[in-house]
Amino acid sequence: MVCRGIWNVHFRGKWYRSYYPHGRISPPDDESTFRMIKQLCDHPDHLEKWELVPFLSPIHSNLDYVYIIDQDAGVFLVSLWKELNGSLRPTAIRIDLTSLRESSRLFIKDSLEQHRSTSSDNIHQTNSDIRKPMTFRALDINFGIPTPLNELQERFLTDFVFVWRYYIDDPLTWTYSSPVFKVLSIAFLRLAAWDLELSSDCEVELPINFASIPSWNYPETNIYWFHGFLIILQEDIESEAMINRALEKAKPYIHDLHGHRDARLVLISPYHVTFVELSNDAVLVSESIALLTNHSAVHCSPGFRALNRIFTSDCWKKSLSDRERWRLNVPSEILYKILHELEPRDTVAFSQASFTATQYYYTSIPQIKDTVVQSFNSSIPCCGKQRGSGDNGVRCLVCYSWRHVACIGAENWSSDAQYVCMDCQGNMNFSAPHPGGINRVSCRKTREGCHISVGGSEKLLHLRLSKPSHLRRELRFLGNLVPIAPSLIEYTIRFNGSFSGLAYGLENKP
């Protein structure tokens, strides 16, 4: 019997992997699998033909098993799919390498049958009654009405989570101690700050599959500065003790809290984000906001909505106007022209050159010339229309989406009242994340395009999950039997030159 899977080996702090074309391997209780394990245990340094990778590859829907020999930890793990409550979830079976060396292949079979899982069914328990630490004052940020840029960012986030969902769904790769957490966290931050480059290069690795690896650079530390905010990665940020631990980590990075100076911290755990403001006389802490849920590949999470608002508006940024060094009186038309004529990386650098340039950068759609967002179905789901920046609206207390008071029939709504939308009242979008949850919710969902106007022509901006049709040899067998869309790639999103996994094409609006 032939199965599909990948071998991962962890040896002397480095990860290696091996797989045959289409991921063909033998089952766990097969004699050839046991021989491979014995060979790798007896000769752990014979990995010349193996691929050096930054972290282990997760279980994928196209795979039956992922074998992991962790020489450093002395364990052998089999990652596989387990049915629970009618759905498949990734599960890992742990076997001690010492015991395995002294046993036969039947020992693996017995261990699989006992199903000693290393991960619980709920890898993270969310608390529906999140309480602010009693020793801190509450931080309330008025995010305001979403901009066209925010709408695109929300689309990018859900598409990004969909593309890389197997890394998040697998509890072996999505933990605080895993490099995957650092890799994807910096990607979330770059998307939230529009710190990215749009390229017209369509020669990229598509589709993203079990062999794909997030390959962009990332900070190797758990604390670093990003766009004026101190980012702290932590295993948990839902308790007062954990927030205090984060503040202790921040102390060496903050030396100038004098007078009117203060610091703003963004705490990120594998599933939540929290904002902290430090000054001489107060510590303000926001509630813990969901950054990832089972529905994050379908509906933008409230945590990411909060992130993109703080990076792209002045709702919580420290004002830099008093330190503005650029005294040139440049007309706005010239600034917009400069932004759209620069190379992608230069555009990002130019946006941070001055307070004025930053404002113009985030009030446009950088790197996509003559583009107007026509629908706001993600950020303003009540009607999908921005209408005007002065329109009255309310923000949902749970999902952070924005709605016109007229659309929800609340023209006399008090600004002090708290609003929870109908979807959140029914707990539809933000269920607690569990292994395999993102794939289960999103795998059969159609990816909706974003209605935009480019140069006055209405288009749909669609995520591309495969190469353009003229590069797909398998489609040639269809001949003229069915019409095949060209599925051209107009834009690819890159992080400092590396492909993010996101590629988009323009289609005529039906």
128 forms beta bridges with none
**DSSP assignment letter at 394:** E
**DSSP assignment letter at 396:** B
CA distance 441 to 454: 32
Q: Which of 173, 171, 155 is nearest to 214 (CA)?
A: 173
CB 214 within 8 A of CB 226: no
CA distance 107 to 112: 9
116: Cα separation from own chain's centroid:
30
Token reading at 437: 């949850």
CB 124 within 8 A of CB 270: yes
Instruction: Tell me which H or E stretch contains 230.
Output: strand 229-233
CB 306 within 8 A of CB 264: no
> Quick one: pLDDT at residue 28?
84
CA distance 330 to 349: 18
Crossing angle of helices 355-362/332-341, nearest 10°?
A: 70
> Quick one: pLDDT at residue 312?
95
Q: Which residue has the tokens 């849920």?
A: 293
Query: SS3 for 403-444, per residue?
Result: EECCCCCCCCCCCCCCECCHHHHCCCCCCCCCCCHHHHHHCC
CA distances from 300 to 219, 255, 291, 306, 505 (A): 25, 36, 9, 11, 21
SS3 assignment, position 277? strand
SS3 assignment, position 10? strand
One digit per residue, the tens of pLDDT, for the chain of length 510 reads 678 999 999 999 999 999 987 768 888 888 888 889 889 988 988 999 999 999 999 999 999 999 999 999 999 999 999 888 778 899 998 888 887 776 665 556 666 666 544 444 444 444 433 344 446 888 989 888 899 999 999 999 999 999 999 999 999 999 999 999 999 999 999 999 999 999 988 889 899 999 999 999 999 999 999 998 999 999 999 888 899 999 999 988 887 554 446 889 999 999 999 999 988 778 999 999 999 999 999 999 999 999 999 999 989 987 666 666 666 677 878 888 888 888 888 888 888 888 888 888 998 898 888 899 999 999 999 999 987 656 678 889 889 999 888 888 877 766 667 888 888 887 655 666 889 999 999 988 889 999 999 988 999 999 999 999 888 888 877 666 677 888 999 999 999 999 999 999 999 887
120: Cα separation from own chain's centroid:
23
Q: Name the phi and psi angles at 231, rounded to 5.
A: -90, 130
Phi-psi region of 78 (alpha: psi -120 to 50; beta: other; left: phi over 0): beta
Token reading at 441: 């919710």
CA distance 41 to 495: 38
Instruction: Tell me which H or E stretch contains 393.
Output: strand 393-395
203: Cβ contacts below 8 Å, ≥ 6 apart: none
Instruction: Tell me which H or E stretch contains 11.
Output: strand 3-11
CA distance 499 to 200: 12
Q: Which long-range contacts (CB under 8 A, 24 or more apart) does 239-244 make?
A: 239/133, 240/133, 240/134, 240/135, 240/136, 243/133, 243/136, 243/267, 243/274, 243/276, 243/285, 244/133
SS3 assignment, position 196? coil
CA distance 119 to 94: 10
**DSSP assignment letter at 506:** E
Burial of 71 per CB tally in 10 Å (0-12, 13-18, 19+): middle
SS3 assignment, position 314? coil
CB 267 within 8 A of CB 232: yes
Instruction: Tell me which H or E stretch contains 333.
Output: helix 332-341
SS3 assignment, position 296? coil
CA distance 349 to 158: 26
CB 210 within 8 A of CB 57: yes
Identify the sign of the CA torsion 287, 288, 291, 295.
negative
SS3 assignment, position 60? coil
> Quick one: pLDDT at residue 130?
38
CA distance 86 to 52: 37
Token reading at 63: 């795979």
SS3 assignment, position 49? coil
Q: Which residue has the tokens 């009607």?
A: 383
> Quick one: pLDDT at residue 1?
60
Token reading at 93: 């079976």
A 10 A CB-CB count for 58 gives: 24
Type of residue found at 28: P
